Amino acid sequence: MSASGSLPERTATAVAEPETQAENGGRRREPGGGMARFDQIVTPHPLVAFLFRRRTFLVLLGILSLAFWAQPRPDMLAVGICLAVVAECWRVWAAGTIHKTEEITTAGPYAYVRHPLYVGSFLHAVAYSFMSGRWEGFLVIIPLFLVLYSAAVSTEEAMLNKLFGDQYAEYSRRVPRFIPRLGRRESGNGRFSWAQAWANKEYVNIIWMIVLSGLFVWRLVSRA
């Protein structure tokens, strides 16, 4: 998830992460007070670093490409739109819970899964595949998402382990990476606020969700 830090060259899309800190906690500050870039904290393989930087842009290109050869069907389009709304509600919850603090965020959706923003982004990817009306869309978008966001998860977790050490290791032992755990959960650090979701620019993702969903609706109407 995602996302997910205030990292260089972020491109906001319906499947992007908000421009905030590393997904589960704070970012190391430079001596002048600015936020350190991810490559000042960890040194991933150049290919992984490239995918990490460009993941949202590449996924957006994939979705736009999917839209132009889509053959939307009313039933699949309806399922996709409903799923996109659920995905965005989940992302808003996550974006409104993660705060720029020196602690790992473990409350809200972060109590169920370590990368809730990426879970929301994955659900968006599935939603747009449904909207396309073509089952081949799943064979394009889902693998693309998994490759790009695997690079993001590995990089962010390396950052968080370096920043928070045993604290993050303990959190990782208790909370799964991507598939949310069920059942009771303990209280954690972080509290949801709409102001925080706004500060993390989740409204940009909402706008992109509306635009992309509208594009698939237009494709359906134009074929009628």
pLDDT in tens, the chain (224 residues): 333 333 333 333 233 343 444 444 344 444 444 445 545 555 666 776 776 777 888 888 889 888 888 999 999 999 999 999 999 999 999 999 987 555 788 899 999 999 999 999 999 999 999 999 999 989 988 998 888 888 888 888 888 888 888 989 999 999 999 888 887 566 677 789 999 999 999 999 999 999 999 999 999 998 76
Q: In angstroms, what CA-CA distances link 207 with 23, 64, 88, 204, 210?
A: 21, 15, 11, 5, 5
pLDDT for res 97? 92
Residue 156's SS3 state is helix
* pLDDT for the residue numbered 216: 96
Query: How far is 7 from 2, CA to CA, in rounded Å?
Result: 11
Q: Give the model's pLDDT for residue 9.
A: 33
Dihedral of CA atoms 16, 22, 25, 27 in degrees, nearest 10, equals -140
Q: Which helix (H) or strand (E) holds 202?
A: helix 202-223
Q: What whole-number distance in Å separates Cα of residue 3 and Cα of residue 12?
A: 10
Q: Record the pTM.
A: 0.78
Cα–Cα distances in angstroms (integers) from residue 58 to residues 69, 160, 189, in the given order? 17, 24, 33
pLDDT at 120: 95
Q: Which two tokens stand for residue 72?
A: 């939307």
